Amino acid sequence: MLEVGFVAVMSQAQKFVFFLTDEFSHLAFSCAVEPLRIANLISGKDLYEWSLHSEDGEPVASSNGSKISVSGDFSAVAKCHRLFVLSGINMRDHVSRPLLSALRRERAGGTKIGALCSGAWILAEAGFLGGYKAAIHWEYHDSFMEEFPDVNLVRSVFVADEKHITASGGTATADLMLHLIEADHGEDLALEVADQMVYVAVRNATAEQRVSLQSRNGMRNKHLAGAIRIMRDQIDDPIPPSSIAARLGISTRQLERLFGKYLNSTPKKYYVEMRLDRARKLLLQTEDSITDIAMACGYESPGHFAKVYRARFGVSPHAQRNKIS
């Protein structure tokens, strides 16, 4: 049985509280706590502390069956800087009165409240997210939009510029924690934490849950799946949307409607972002020259490649690579 204890309180530390529901995501949990632990280790200071809570104060089981020891129930919460509700599968079954009451009490007390993985569903049930942007794991997008139409659900990996910050789960939780570490203690520490995690492809808030969306929508619509497959196979030699549509036996207009409906994008925009995302991975993970990477991603002119890369990521290809050098 895996057990995690309570980190001792230090007055100068940022105090985080995690409300864990039954069947919470263990991956998201690890990606939330480990960056904080590593930040303390690297800095040699207690920059962060955290405590864990379950509904009854007893060890709580994650979706993979491992149990986590906690500090108390949802009512036994000391004053903290941030509180995150972390759930996983079957989150609807774990939206309880004690949980909602505790969240509303903490909000009334001024605590900053956020959610990880499917936790945005619980915040929405509590009435916290109306009119705000929010992120949730892609698996729950359709049902969430039906249930909470007043929430501005986005496909980003996390949302950090709202009153209630949310992350879509899994490694997106690490992206969010690295973002918070950078905001609290600077980019250098955040990069060192990412290095210790061997996590070189850190995403910002605007990154989308790309792979999961492809998988989900690919199962639902064969034409969309086929278009994405063609794009992926021809990253180094891109073809126009009209040619993709012709290969699939549909009209260009129909192809555009599919991308708009399922991905809130256009074929051209999606294709460009796919190529640039591929370029970013190559820049971060290989020693290939920038010219070679540009050609591998369908750009004959390194100058044009640099221009569109900067427009997408806010930095030049050279600067992107220098961030990890």
- pLDDT tens digits, one per residue of 219-261: 468 899 899 989 989 999 999 999 999 999 999 999 999 999 8
Tell me: do 160 and 54 sit in the same domain.
yes
Cα distances (angstroms) measured from residue 132 to each of 18, 127, 167, 291, 298: 22, 11, 14, 41, 37
Last residue of a domain, one of 196, 218, 250: 196
* pLDDT score at 1: 36
Asked if residue 1 belongs to a domain, the reply is no
CB of 136 closer than 8 Å to CB of 92? no
Q: Are residues 164 and 42 part of one domain?
A: yes
Q: What is the identity of the amino acid at 250? A: I
Domain of 231, CATH number, reads 1.10.10.60
Q: Is there a single domain that holds both residue 99 and residue 69?
A: yes
Predicted confidence (pLDDT) per residue in 81-106, tens digit = 999 999 999 999 999 999 999 999 99
Asked whether the predicted pLDDT for residue 292 surpasses 80, the reply is yes
| CA-wise closest residue to 18 among 79, 84, 112 | 84
Residues 85 and 157 in one domain: yes
Asked if residue 113 is part of any domain, the answer here is yes
In a domain, 7, yes or no: no
Q: Are residues 117 and 221 in the same domain?
A: no
Does one domain contain both 177 and 260?
A: no
The values of phi and psi at residue 160, to 5°, are: -120, 0
Confidence of residue 184 (pLDDT cuts 50, 70, 90): very high
**Residue 48 sits in the same domain as residue 168:** yes
Number of separate domains in the chain: 2
For residue 108, give the CATH number of its domain: 3.40.50.880
pLDDT per residue as tens digits for the range 94-152: 999 999 999 999 999 999 999 999 999 999 999 999 999 999 998 888 788 888 989 99
d(CA 299, CA 310): 14
> What was the pLDDT predicted at 220?
63
Distance CA 88, CA 19 (A): 12
Do 78 and 175 belong to one domain? Answer: yes
| 59: in domain | yes
| pLDDT value for 76 | 86
- CA 194 remoteness from chain centre: 15
Residue 187: domain span: 14-196
Q: What is the mean pLDDT of the chain?
A: 88
Summarised one tens digit per residue, pLDDT across range 10-54 is 347 999 999 999 999 999 999 999 999 999 999 999 999 999 999
240 and 105 both lie in a single domain: no
